[in-house]
Structure 1
Amino acid sequence: MPITLESLPVELVIAILEELDLASLIVVSYLSRRLHSIASDRSLNPWRAPILRNLHSEVYEDCLKHLSVRTTVPRQNWIEILSMAQPRFLLFEATLPNMKEADWREGFQRRFLPGWQKWKRDLSWNGTFKKLLYRYIVLNKNGSANELEASSRNYNPLSIFNDLKLQSNLAHLETHIRLVVQLTDVRILALGVLNNPRGAFTINKNARAFLHPPGIEMYSDQVSSGGSPGTASSKSKSGYSYERLTHPLPAPSHAAYPFYTPGGGDKRWLTVGTLEEEGQQWVGGLMLTAQITSSQTSMPWGDGPFLQDLDLVVGFGRSQYASFTFADLDCIAPWMKELVTKRIFGPGL
């Protein structure tokens, strides 16, 4: 019996279509009624794989710009595009489809931090998506946390943190900066101080808990027992339950966050056992802020280590910041809810 397109199981047809590039898939989707029907089916959706390949690459296929005019492409794919595509592509190049408000809201929540929803006000989710007093958080060594604000005109996290160090008698110590998680448009940075304290009074246990979720380790044999990066959720050895972050969606370099993501972009585990590099510990306050990223942000700057310390805040594409609030902290580090003993809006203890 000869093998024809009509005789092939739909699963095999889908697997073949998913391997095509977008331009070829567009052509193939119009070649026959069956291919048209399969390509248009929301539940089968062979478009997702080639779209994700485009979004994970730096150069998009030209046909992605006007994919919304293709009737064979289910609208649900645009939630992925809104969540992950480059800002310039969405604002100036793509023909955006007509979508329900619920879809725009889903795209917004998957792309942006929860604290940014305040800009919606009377606008639609569509308008808010296409549309700042800066806020930042300090995790204190006594277990409390402050949500503070600074003028948008002079917001410089290094300068602000230097003032915090001065207030804590830590001005003589070097500032260390860690990349916590990279999102589509922003990355969350933590500014703190590492030292070899003589006693436990100055140690900030919450700083370590924020950077290294209790029970999650970097090494594969430990990760497998504390939660595999390949799973959506897991309970760690410490008893905490963790789920992979999806709203907002992390960049590929932090795809498994809060679990460790291999590949070199996840720099949170610069540790030896319970200590940081060279046997040091976090002391004083840990400042958290959100930095707006661009194509220049990912380029190394200076002679220091890449993606840590001054490389994260000095150089081209590293001078724009956005608000980071308690709502954002709860989103990217929900395990901190029970560790932060007191939340203070503004200065104070």
Structure 2
Amino acid sequence: MRFEHLPVELIAEILSELDIPSLITVSHLSKRLYLVTSDSALNPWRRPILADLLAHDYDRTLKHLSVRSVVPRQNWVEILSLARPSFLLYEATLPNLRSCEWEECFTRRFLPSWQKWRKDGSWKEGFLKCVLSPCDVRQTIMVHIRNRVLFRLWHRGATSCTTDEAWTKYIVLNRNGSANLLEASARSFNPVTIFNQMKMQSNLAHLETHIHSVVEFADFRILTFGTMATPRTQASINVNAHLLLNPPGIEPRERSSGSAVPYYAPVSGRSHIDDHGVYPVVAASPVSEVSQVHRLPLSSFTYSRLTRPCPAAIHSNYPFHTPGGADLRWASYAEIEEGSRWVGGLLITVQLLGSSDGRQYATFNWADLWTIAPWLEEIITKRIDGQGLGH
């Protein structure tokens, strides 16, 4: 039997194993192969395109893939969601997409709060449209072409400019179950300095700061700053800090009886979450809202893989564990088993990628927190905009 006489699904599966240049060549060998490769339902392009994006050293054919009619438009949603900003801004020939497709690209790449930069413009304008504005870089006034969101991220990651965001918002989870939305000057924003001040105010300056990457995306990562210690009283335990990093109902289990490497899977066969890794085992006061969290019905927490925004490959299964060694949200389990707990406040912020010194940050607010940790929305007892009532 000739290759072209095989079922179209099987042909598409075989062709998806090729790299992009080879697939371009094969797609023009016959009319049948052209029809198979151009079919948006079969779409053999998705696998080689994703492989190229993950390799970071993009093939030169990826730059002008949009001019080839044989490539379904839907593949550009993946490219616009995952490719590095400099490639999209300065190298790639972008296709004409519908408004709904630009919206999907926006929501798959950026945090919900960043829609403020789109304002009343179209989704394409919010993602790519150029405007002119002055920017002070290295004490020299220069004029930059600034794209609404993508360019802002690339520009802020490559320079110390804070013209478009004077204040950086961040969230602090308090040990009493409440949370504060705070802000600081973007030009001098340093979460390490802020958290050190928090530790001094809480009498925890002697404790080591634990920095965790909760989840990483194409342009940024979510970082937390917290402290762990053996608590003297249950009141000093920060329940929500544990819940953010270790979602209730997802816990470590051994991959096999002879393996010391844990994997992480949803708990099943229980009607209630019973996470004694951080909650008190003793009977808690019936009036304590925080102490009741571990008795919430398991049905209250329904998990699905995060797709908007779309995590990077190292966290592709988020909020579930992603194998490969980069997902370290459960790294503190060894200390928890030895009696340590999260104590004091937990600071959450957004670090922009691409900066050589890693000191560029962006705003993180309530909508962003509910996006990356929706299970906290019904657990946090009080949301406070600004200082106060959270200590």
Q: TM-score, normalised by structure 1?
A: 0.87
Greater shift, 168-177 or 189-198, is seen at 168-177
3-state SS of paired residue (2:344): strand
* Cα distance in 1, alignment partners of residues 178 and 114 from structure 2: 23
Partner of 1:299: none
Closer, same or farther in 2 for the Cα pair 1:255/1:237, shift >3 Å? farther
Change (3 A) 1:80 1:103: same
Paired residues in the alignment total 320
1:225 is displaced (CA, Å) by: 5.0
Among candidates 328, 335, 338, match of residue 378 of structure 2 = 338
Could you tell me how far apart the structure 2 residues matched to 1:100 and 1:225 are?
Answer: 38
Do the aligned residues in 2 keep the contact of 1:147 with 1:326 (CA within 8 Å)?
yes
State, as a whole percentage, how many aligned pairs show the same letter: 55
Q: Per the alignment, do residues 247 and 60 of structure 1 end up closer, same or farther by CA in structure 2, a change over 3 Å counting?
A: same
- Supply the AA of the counterpart residue of 1:114: P
Which letter does structure 2 place at the counterpart of 1:169?
N
Change beyond 3 A, Cα 1:59–1:161: same
Q: 1:168 maps to what in 2? A: 202
Instruction: Describe the SS at the equivalent of 2:251.
Output: coil
Equivalents in 1 of 2:207, 2:74: separation in Å?
Answer: 50
1:69 to 67, 70, 73: 67
Match of 1:263 among 316, 324, 332: 324
Cα-to-partner distance string for 1:71-104 (whole Å, 9 max, x where unaligned): 0111100000011111111111111111111111
1:226 to 244, 267, 270: 267
CA distance in 2, matches of 1:237, 1:49: 40
Task: Give secondary structure in 2 for the equivalent of 1:192.
Answer: strand
Contact residue 176 and residue 194 of structure 1 kept, 8 A: yes
TM-score (norm 2): 0.78
Q: Quick one: which amino acid aligns to residue 309 of structure 2?
A: P
Cα separation, partners in 2 of 1:266 and 1:236, compared to 1, 3 Å: farther
Q: How far, CA to CA, are the matches of 2:337 and 2:213 in structure 1?
A: 15
Report the Cα offset of residue 224 of structure 1.
4.3
Aligned pairs (5 A) from 1:1-349:
3-130=1-128, 131=147, 132=165, 133-219=167-253, 223-226=264-267, 238=273, 239=298, 240-272=301-333, 276=336, 278-294=338-354, 316-349=356-389
The whole-number CA distance in structure 2 between the counterparts of 1:237 and 1:150 is 40
Q: CA deviation at 1:348?
A: 1.4
In structure 1, distance between residues paired with 2:90 and 2:230: 51
The AA in structure 2 aligned to 1:325 is N
Contact 1:226 1:237 in 2 (8 A): no
SS at match of 2:303: strand
SS in 2 for 1:189: strand
The answer to whether the 8 A contact 2:249-2:266 is kept is no
The residue type paired with residue 319 of structure 1 is R
Counterparts of 2:336 and 2:220, CA distance in 1: 25
Superimposed CA distance per residue, residues 160-198 of structure 1 (whole angstroms, 9 cap, x where no aligned partner): 111222222222322111111111111000001111111
Deviates most, 332-341 or 212-221: 212-221
Does the CA-based 8 Å contact 1:135-1:149 persist in structure 2? Answer: yes
Separation in 2, partners of 1:277, 1:6 = 59
Letter in 2 for 1:64: L
Equivalent position SS for 1:201: helix
Give unmatched runs, 5+ long, in structure 2.
129-146, 148-164, 256-262, 274-297
Instruction: Report the secondary structure of 1:15's partner residue.
Output: helix
1:49, CA displacement in angstroms?
Answer: 0.8
Larger Cα Rg: Structure 1 or Structure 2?
2
Root-mean-square deviation over aligned CA pairs:
2.0
Q: After TM superposition, give the deviation of residue 278 of structure 1 in Å.
A: 4.9
- Cα distance in 2 for partners of 1:329, 1:102 equals 25
Query: Is the 1:272–1:279 contact (alpha carbons within 8 Å) kept by the matching residues of 2?
Result: no
Letter in 2 for 1:119: W
8 Å CA contact retained: 2:4, 2:33: no
Give CA deviations for 1:3-23 in whole Å, capped at 9, x if unaligned. Answer: 234421112211121011100
- 1:184 maps to amino acid: A
Give the SS at the match of 2:348: strand
Give the Cα separation in 1 of the matches to 2:183 and 2:18.
49
Shift, 1:151, TM fit: 1.0
Gaps of 5+ in 1: 228-234, 297-315
**3-state SS, counterpart of residue 187 of structure 1:** strand
Partner deviation per Cα, 1:240-287 (whole Å, 9 max, x = no partner)? 2111111011111111111111111011112347x5375311111100
Amino acid at match of 2:326: G
Distance 1:253 1:220 in 2: 21
Q: Which amino acid in 2 is paired with 1:334?
A: P
Per the alignment, do residues 159 and 223 of structure 1 end up closer, same or farther by CA in structure 2, a change over 3 Å counting? Answer: closer
Structure 1 pair 272–160 and aligned structure 2 pair: CA distance change class (3 A): closer
